[in-house]
Amino acid sequence: MLSNKIKAALNEQIQKEAFASNSYLTLATWSEEKALDGVAAYFYAAAEDERQHMLEIYKYLNTYGSGAHLKPLKETSVKLKNILEVFHYVFDLEHEVTVSINKLAKLAYEENDFATFKFLEAFVLEQQQSEKDVTDLIDMIKRVGYEEKNLYYLNKTFKKNEERKALGKNPDLDVEKE
Ligand SMILES: [Fe+2]
């Protein structure tokens, strides 16, 4: 069974995943307001992913411990000027989650809770991949450009990648100007 220390730490992680999910919804709204539906689709999917992470930890905590609960979440409004700033914000958001997942895994290890340590392995690897994916997107945005005139093409690239993801394919970031 889970120790009180681990239960508290898992509950904190639940708040972080929920906050990330809400933040992605805020960014979906930002994208919709700029008529970037492809980018919005990326953020809706990201919000769903984070909600799944939250639920996974929620259920784990209630199955092997107790007391999983969501606290009221802090405000997620953003003031971001352009899509490059948006993705730098996303990187910071993901990095914050990476740091807290690593802290949680370290705690589980130190507490000799190897079941929780093992449970967290997928999350640790997922964070590593997320940071890489966001870094790749930032590079792609810089390459394509994010001035008004580039947004149509950029949005289309995001849309195409969401379609690829739905088919289980990796994003194609090897963009070419059309
Ligand atoms: Fe997550």
Q: What is the distance in A from the centroid of ligand 1 to the CA of 112?
A: 24
DSSP 52-103: HHHHHHHHHHHHHS----PPPPPP------SHHHHHHHHHHHHHHHHHHHHH
Distance 6 CA to ligand 1 centre (A): 18
162 has a pLDDT exceeding 50: yes
Tell the residue number behind the tokens 């895994």, with chain if given. Answer: 105
- Count of beta carbons in the 10 Å neighbourhood of residue 79: 7
| Helices and strands counted in the chain (H then E) | 5, 0
Q: Where are the domains of the chain?
A: 4-166
CA–centroid distance, residue 147 to ligand 1 (Å): 30
Least confident of 102-111, 152-161, 169-178: 169-178
Of residues 164 and 90, which shows the higher confidence score?
90
How far, in Å, from the CA of 41 to the mean position of ligand 1? 17
Q: Are the C-beta atoms of 131 and 95 separated by less than 8 Å?
A: yes
Rounded distance from Cα 23 to ligand 1 centre (Å): 12
Distance from residue 31's CA to the centre of ligand 1 (Å) = 21
Contact 14, 102 (CB under 8 A): no
Task: Give this prediction's pTM.
Answer: 0.92
Average pLDDT, the chain: 94
Report CA(34)–ligand 1 centroid distance (Å): 26
Distance 146 CA to ligand 1 centre (A): 27
Angstrom CA distances, 13 to 1, 18, 48, 77, 97, stand at 18, 9, 16, 21, 8
Whether residue 175 is predicted with pLDDT greater than 80 in this model: the reply is no
Which of the four pLDDT bands, split at 50, 70 and 90, describes residue 73? confident
Spacing, Cα 123 to ligand 1 middle (Å): 7
Q: Report how far Cα 140 is from the mean position of its chain's Cα atoms.
A: 18
Ligand 1 centroid–CA 177 distance in Å is 33
pLDDT digits (tens, 9 = 90+) for 9-38: 999 999 999 999 999 999 999 999 999 999
| Assigned fold of 4-166 | Ferritin (1.20.1260)
Q: How far is residue 161's CA from residue 159's CA, in Å, rounded to a whole number?
A: 5
* Residue type present at position 74: K
For position 130, what pLDDT does the model report? 96
Cα(140) to centroid of ligand 1, in Å?
23
- 131 close to 91: Cβ distance less than 8 angstroms: yes
Q: Identify the CA nearest to 176 among candidates 153, 142, 159, 146.
A: 153
